[in-house]
């Protein structure tokens, strides 16, 4: 690095390459997040297996996982105005302390009450610490988005000892997931805000979200009429 480059504040550079070049420590940290996801996924699979045997049904339709891309982590740290990001000794600690959603697990359930059942079972495990909860089902976002978000901290055992790792859980129904996935693809398409009729598109997306809400509620009511878990 030239003397001139050293004078440039890390957050002022438009190129995230310096951030990505902290390869060894960054790679280690991403490995730790992947392991944290596996720990969470195993817990969910155990619960789902138990329900399959005990109640003859599975509350979890499917599970998806993801790790934030380096570019996304970089941009989020920029928004937080984190200083000294170029220092290799700082990056892992800053990411772990400041970002709660580097590791993500999406849990898709059949019914609304399954969401709260899964959330309660996860929160009730004595090795899991719940950091934050945002219930966008009871209080949807203005655009119609609904989901149950949890930030949890789970211990992961490595060769050098135990490390608490944070993971974001998003728990939603099949309908909520269908809408959220398509809405994200449409709304975040490059330049969509400049399209003629963008406000009409937003209104249509909102109306479709309301239709999903009605469907979820109706399916929940039908399930309630049929009976408890073991009767379905």
Q: Which of 3, 81, 97, 168 is an active site residue?
A: 168
184's tokens: 């994200």
Closest CA to 171 of 77, 48, 71: 48
Q: Kindly report the number of other CB atoms within 10 A of residue 42's CB atom.
A: 10
3-state secondary structure 163-223: EEEEEEEEEEEHHHHHHHHHHHHHHCCCCHHHCCCHHHHHHHHHHHHHHHHHHHHHHHHHH
Copy the structure tokens of residue 93: 């600690």
Residue 168 appears among annotated catalytic residues: yes
Positions annotated as catalytic residues are: 168
């Amino acid at each position: 690095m030239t003397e001139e480059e050293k004078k440039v504040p890390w957050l002022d550079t438009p190129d995230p390459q310096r951030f990505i070049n902290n390869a060894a420590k960054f790679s280690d940290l991403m490995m730790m997040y992947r392991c944290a996801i596996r720990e969470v996924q195993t817990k969910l699979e155990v619960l789902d297996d138990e329900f399959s045997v005990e109640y003859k049904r599975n509350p979890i339709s499917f599970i998806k996982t993801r790790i934030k891309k380096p570019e996304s982590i970089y941009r989020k740290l920029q928004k937080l105005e984190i200083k000294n990001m170029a220092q290799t000794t700082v990056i892992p600690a800053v990411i772990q302390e400041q970002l709660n959603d580097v590791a993500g697990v999406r849990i898709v359930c059949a019914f609304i009450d399954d969401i709260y059942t899964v959330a309660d079972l996860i929160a009730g495990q004595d090795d899991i610490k719940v950091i934050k909860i945002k219930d966008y089902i009871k209080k949807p976002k203005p655009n119609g988005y609904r989901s149950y978000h949890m930030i949890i901290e789970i211990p992961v055992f490595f060769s050098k000892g135990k490390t608490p790792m944070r993971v974001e859980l998003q728990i939603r129904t099949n309908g909520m997931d269908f809408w959220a996935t398509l809405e994200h693809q449409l709304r975040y398409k490059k330049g969509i805000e400049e399209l003629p009729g963008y406000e009409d598109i937003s209104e249509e997306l909102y109306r479709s979200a309301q239709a999903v809400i009605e469907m979820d509620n109706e399916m929940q009511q039908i399930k309630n009429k049929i009976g408890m878990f073991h009767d379905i």
